[in-house]
A and B are shown apart, each in its own frame.
Chain A
């Protein structure tokens, strides 16, 4: 094992070196190409008279897009290089690494050329790099938590930012009066302007860092939401002070102040409104895209981008617009689009956002290497750093104290620490400062200071936040060693509480949410969701068995589609090994156990890893560890899974799947003794019948392997002729020659599989005398892979109504149920 590690270490190291070398060559190549082209051009000019050239080097022809593509490539290569070394990425946040990379590259370009040819221009930043990131944030925003904490978020975003801006600006102004910083040609307004642009917490930076530090979802939402919503405040303050500065302090009238306040409301509410309008348009459009599925994803991006640009055009808050566009369209888009389109949208969005973020940080590094912008003023820079940190802490503490009076779930000290420390400034501040009027004498100073501030927060704070949190967490937990019982029963309580919450359907203030859900149900969904999605949402409510079967069917078909028929065919694979990397903990040494238990930093106090200093017992540790590792997590803890860089299927899915299987197995057991005929059929409604009737049989078996022996069972309502009351068709599709193996592969003690099964598939259940339920494949087997579809079974984040979330996740038209044959009824 050690040898292997060494070898892979060697490989990694050599790969790192070659990659670095490559990276460094690219910009030089780019630059020399530029120079070459000049000479080349000169040459070709001279030799132009001699005739036709077979091949020419036409650099200027491709220069612009080539350079852009090259930089994107370099940034992405940089990411690969970083991730080659696991150790580095766990300690240093990626954003910091990218900045450093940018610095190096900038240095190289500078050394080669003595010009700073590449900088992060505000145009590029605001028009191309920022929208994908914010859209990604909005689209994946867990709405329930967001709106649940909206008051808190708004307070921090608005009041907090104003507080930060005002105090920082005023303090700097005050200090500047004392001449510590030398003679600065700046008045109160300039300082306030600076304060306003440096005060805002940056969504890009916050996300980049918080991804490494796994905080509990509420905290994440608050900080993240704050960083998004403070854009309105920043925009207003910035524009107001900027115009004041340009006009000159003498000319500012009282009316202008008033106008400034009004503009805040206009900008923020206007931006939100624009976003909502475009979300509406988007949802409406996606309702009709059934026949143009291939370009469906495009609509999402284009319309969201348009919302951004429209708000920008109207000088409203563009970030708010695109954020709310993403937030509001989520639900309908996910209901309307076909599954592949949804996946495409997700991946594309992640790719764009991740790419944009990489480029931003890299350019933040490169832009710094530019002698023209640097003015060093130690006192100013230091004081700025001190002030922003200090005032942020005070601001957070004060606001939290006020908010805790009104909040259901209190914000504790640790949360406040993370919030203060996690208030990072980033590229937005930089872009804003570069946009300042060059005629302003202090602009250079501001730019330099902003760069230093951004670097400080991203690099230093990003680096240290994880250890800080770790330290705090450990400090808190040293008070007591949770007992086994406490852990176990504590976790049980969590489960109980989530269950009760789900049953009562309410968490916290819900009057508004209920009203909204009703309104949405009655009006909005009717307009914006496809008919099929609505129908499936309404009718399926009937019986949980339907859900089970549907889910089972969809699962099987997913399995088929993915070609993972292995689980049907091979009996040996049926009992799938769920074990992850850790197989048996029992015989590992104490130190190994302790080392392994250094899992992700988690601020949630209850999920603390028990770092016992004096283990009573090796077995004790092992038991604790095992409990820690293997207890199912309650709903709240694992749900939030926002990550810019990964579209991971959370562990929660695997857990859900296991529990779900078990639950359904148990519930289906209830069926065993009941006679199929009446009980079964009377409860069924036909929701898929029309759809099934439409689909051709050939659609049924995508991978073509099971074409011959698909059998449909239709459970008819034996009593009534009611067409809408027909059976639910579900399909068990064994290949005929595999039937032996199938039977062998299905091990389920709860269900008796009859011996005379040569034709058992051919007999519809209501005709067979046996009292069996044909259980869904999933209920019978342990499944190898979890389908991405499974996530849609319980996407809590979609809706507060539990059933809705089941069904919204549910299968639109084009879904796997297409394998159902024409109705032969």
Chain B
């Protein structure tokens, strides 16, 4: 009898060395999360097959709630969990080819993932176009990181992209 491959939680508790893609894919909830696979890919960039604990934690750290520290040294390096970095995480989910902008094609892909199956291609494209139109400030037909950030300035990111327990 062999020992079954353990779950991520087990590994976490034993500070096991490596995660593989399969560990993530095994999580049921991710399979029904529209962005599930992309998120898994975020943990395994560039076709890496294994993930060490440190990298894992580094990505998780991005989701710590930000603490407004008035006395922070303005010259210090930006903390991992800053608002900007949270946005960057999301941005990178959209931007698969890492060219720094979300092109129309990429946005269509994401929208396809996030919308129900009954939405037709035409509707999808029109939504994409309007979305880009709304956010696109310099008129290049794509959304850069700055434009992305600007369009979301009213959203309470603290609430949406933070997990309390990490505090």
| A interface, CB within 8 angstroms of B | 408, 480, 483-486, 488-510, 538-539, 541-544, 547, 578-580, 584-586, 619-620, 623, 626-627, 629-632, 634-635, 655-656, 658-660, 662-664, 666-667, 724, 793-794, 796, 801-803, 805-806
On whether the beta carbons of B35 and A488 are closer than 8 Å, the reply is: no
- Name which of A510, A666, A667 has the most chain B CB atoms within 10 A of its CB: A667
On whether the beta carbons of A510 and B33 are closer than 8 Å, the reply is: no
User: B85: CB under 8 A from chain A?
Assistant: no
On whether the beta carbons of B161 and A493 are closer than 8 Å, the reply is: yes
On whether the beta carbons of B134 and A485 are closer than 8 Å, the reply is: yes
Q: A484-B134, A489-B148, A619-B126 are in contact. List 10 more A-B contacts (CB 8 A).
A: A486-B151, A489-B151, A492-B93, A499-B39, A504-B12, A544-B26, A623-B126, A623-B130, A802-B27, A802-B30
On whether the beta carbons of B5 and A632 are closer than 8 Å, the reply is: no
On whether the beta carbons of B26 and A493 are closer than 8 Å, the reply is: no
**Hey, what's the 0/1 contact readout for B2-25 against A, CB within 8 Å counting as 1?**
001111110010000000001011
On whether the beta carbons of A632 and B115 are closer than 8 Å, the reply is: yes
Chain A positions within 8 Å of B35 at CB level: 492, 495-496, 499
Chain B positions within 8 Å of A655 at CB level: 32, 116
> How far does the alpha carbon of A490 sit from the alpha carbon of B131 in the complex, in Å?
13
Chain B positions within 8 Å of A502 at CB level: 27, 29-30, 33
On whether the beta carbons of A494 and B30 are closer than 8 Å, the reply is: no
A626: which of B32, B33, B119 is its contact (CB, 8 Å)? Answer: B119
On whether the beta carbons of B33 and A538 are closer than 8 Å, the reply is: no
On whether the beta carbons of A793 and B28 are closer than 8 Å, the reply is: yes
On whether the beta carbons of A486 and B155 are closer than 8 Å, the reply is: yes
Chain A positions within 8 Å of B111 at CB level: 488
Chain B positions within 8 Å of A626 at CB level: 119, 123, 127
**Hey, what's the 0/1 contact readout for B110-124 against A, CB within 8 Å counting as 1?**
110111111110010
On whether the beta carbons of A794 and B28 are closer than 8 Å, the reply is: yes
A495: which of B34, B116, B117, B118 is its contact (CB, 8 Å)? Answer: B34
- Which 7 interchain pairs have the tightest Cβ spacing? A502-B29, A485-B151, A806-B28, A656-B32, A493-B160, A630-B116, A505-B9
Nearest-neighbour CB distance to chain B for A707, whole angstroms, equals: 34
Chain A positions within 8 Å of B90 at CB level: 489, 492-493, 496
Chain A positions within 8 Å of B93 at CB level: 492, 496
On whether the beta carbons of B27 and A503 are closer than 8 Å, the reply is: yes
| B interface, CB within 8 angstroms of A | 1, 4-9, 12, 22, 24-37, 39, 60, 63, 89-90, 93-94, 110-111, 113-120, 123, 126-127, 130-131, 134-135, 148, 151-152, 154-155, 157, 160-165
On whether the beta carbons of B134 and A805 are closer than 8 Å, the reply is: no
Chain A positions within 8 Å of B6 at CB level: 541
On whether the beta carbons of B126 and A497 are closer than 8 Å, the reply is: no
On whether the beta carbons of A659 and B28 are closer than 8 Å, the reply is: no
On whether the beta carbons of B134 and A483 are closer than 8 Å, the reply is: yes
On whether the beta carbons of A541 and B4 are closer than 8 Å, the reply is: yes
B116: which of A501, A658, A793 is its contact (CB, 8 Å)? Answer: A658
> How far does the alpha carbon of A623 sit from the alpha carbon of B130 in the complex, in Å?
8
Chain A positions within 8 Å of B123 at CB level: 585-586, 626
> How far does the alpha carbon of A690 sit from the alpha carbon of B112 in the complex, in Å?
42
Nearest A residue to B60, CB-CB: A504
On whether the beta carbons of A578 and B118 are closer than 8 Å, the reply is: yes
Nearest A residue to B165, CB-CB: A506
Could you name 22 residue pairs across A and B whose Cβ atoms are closer than 8 Å?
A483-B134, A484-B134, A490-B160, A493-B157, A501-B163, A502-B30, A505-B9, A506-B163, A508-B164, A541-B4, A541-B5, A542-B4, A543-B22, A580-B118, A619-B126, A627-B127, A632-B34, A658-B116, A794-B28, A796-B29, A802-B29, A805-B28
Nearest-neighbour CB distance to chain A for B22, whole angstroms, equals: 6
On whether the beta carbons of A630 and B115 are closer than 8 Å, the reply is: yes
Nearest-neighbour CB distance to chain A for B66, whole angstroms, equals: 14
> How far does the alpha carbon of A667 sit from the alpha carbon of B36 in the complex, in Å?
12
On whether the beta carbons of B31 and A660 are closer than 8 Å, the reply is: yes
Chain A positions within 8 Å of B119 at CB level: 626, 630
Chain A positions within 8 Å of B29 at CB level: 498-499, 502, 635, 794, 796, 802, 805
Main SS class of interface, B? helix
Chain B positions within 8 Å of A580 at CB level: 118
- Name which of B7, B12, B29, B123 has the most chain A CB atoms within 10 A of its CB: B29
Chain A positions within 8 Å of B63 at CB level: 497, 500
> How far does the alpha carbon of A538 sit from the alpha carbon of B129 in the complex, in Å?
48
- Name which of B22, B28, B33, B117 has the most chain A CB atoms within 10 A of its CB: B28
Given contacts A484-B130, A502-B30, A542-B4, contact A492 B110 (CB under 8 A): yes
Nearest A residue to B9, CB-CB: A505
Nearest-neighbour CB distance to chain A for B134, whole angstroms, equals: 5
On whether the beta carbons of B126 and A579 are closer than 8 Å, the reply is: no
On whether the beta carbons of A666 and B37 are closer than 8 Å, the reply is: yes
Nearest A residue to B161, CB-CB: A493
Chain B positions within 8 Å of A660 at CB level: 31-32
On whether the beta carbons of A509 and B161 are closer than 8 Å, the reply is: no
A620: which of B27, B28, B110, B130 is its contact (CB, 8 Å)? Answer: B130
> How far does the alpha carbon of A655 sit from the alpha carbon of B22 in the complex, in Å?
23
Chain A positions within 8 Å of B31 at CB level: 544, 659-660, 663-664, 794
Given contacts A499-B30, A794-B28, contact A663 B4 (CB under 8 A): no
On whether the beta carbons of A500 and B39 are closer than 8 Å, the reply is: yes
Given contacts A484-B130, A507-B163, contact A496 B117 (CB under 8 A): no
Given contacts A619-B126, A623-B126, A627-B127, contact A504 B27 (CB under 8 A): no
B163: which of A500, A586, A627 is its contact (CB, 8 Å)? Answer: A500
On whether the beta carbons of A491 and B114 are closer than 8 Å, the reply is: yes
Chain B positions within 8 Å of A794 at CB level: 28-29, 31-32
On whether the beta carbons of B26 and A541 are closer than 8 Å, the reply is: yes
> How far does the alpha carbon of A494 sit from the alpha carbon of B34 in the complex, in Å?
11
Nearest-neighbour CB distance to chain B for A633, whole angstroms, equals: 10
- Name which of A543, A659, A805 has the most chain B CB atoms within 10 A of its CB: A659
- Name which of B9, B12, B116 has the most chain A CB atoms within 10 A of its CB: B116
Chain A positions within 8 Å of B152 at CB level: 485-486, 489-490
On whether the beta carbons of A486 and B154 are closer than 8 Å, the reply is: yes
Chain A positions within 8 Å of B32 at CB level: 635, 655-656, 659-660, 663, 793-794
> How far does the alpha carbon of A663 sit from the alpha carbon of B31 in the complex, in Å?
6
Nearest A residue to B130, CB-CB: A623
Chain B positions within 8 Å of A499 at CB level: 29-30, 33, 35-36, 39
On whether the beta carbons of A484 and B160 are closer than 8 Å, the reply is: no
Nearest A residue to B35, CB-CB: A495
Chain B positions within 8 Å of A662 at CB level: 113
> How far does the alpha carbon of A662 sit from the alpha carbon of B117 in the complex, in Å?
10
Given contacts A485-B134, A620-B130, A623-B127, contact A659 B34 (CB under 8 A): yes
> How far does the alpha carbon of A552 sit from the alpha carbon of B24 in the complex, in Å?
20
Nearest A residue to B59, CB-CB: A500
On whether the beta carbons of B135 and A803 are closer than 8 Å, the reply is: no
Chain B positions within 8 Å of A489 at CB level: 90, 148, 151-152, 155
> How far does the alpha carbon of A506 sit from the alpha carbon of B165 in the complex, in Å?
8
> How far does the alpha carbon of A631 sit from the alpha carbon of B111 in the complex, in Å?
8
Nearest-neighbour CB distance to chain A for B48, whole angstroms, equals: 15
Nearest A residue to B113, CB-CB: A662
- Name which of A485, A626, A667 has the most chain B CB atoms within 10 A of its CB: A485
> How far does the alpha carbon of A776 sit from the alpha carbon of B94 in the complex, in Å?
30
Nearest-neighbour CB distance to chain A for B4, whole angstroms, equals: 5
> How far does the alpha carbon of A500 sit from the alpha carbon of B163 in the complex, in Å?
9
> How far does the alpha carbon of A490 sit from the alpha carbon of B90 in the complex, in Å?
10
B4: which of A538, A623, A667 is its contact (CB, 8 Å)? Answer: A538
A494: which of B113, B126, B148, B160 is its contact (CB, 8 Å)? Answer: B160
Nearest-neighbour CB distance to chain A for B113, whole angstroms, equals: 8
On whether the beta carbons of B28 and A802 are closer than 8 Å, the reply is: yes
Given contacts A506-B165, A660-B32, contact A631 B114 (CB under 8 A): yes
> How far does the alpha carbon of A579 sit from the alpha carbon of B152 in the complex, in Å?
32
Nearest-neighbour CB distance to chain A for B19, whole angstroms, equals: 10
> How far does the alpha carbon of A489 sit from the alpha carbon of B154 in the complex, in Å?
12
Nearest A residue to B131, CB-CB: A484
Chain B positions within 8 Å of A634 at CB level: 33
Nearest-neighbour CB distance to chain B for A802, whole angstroms, equals: 5
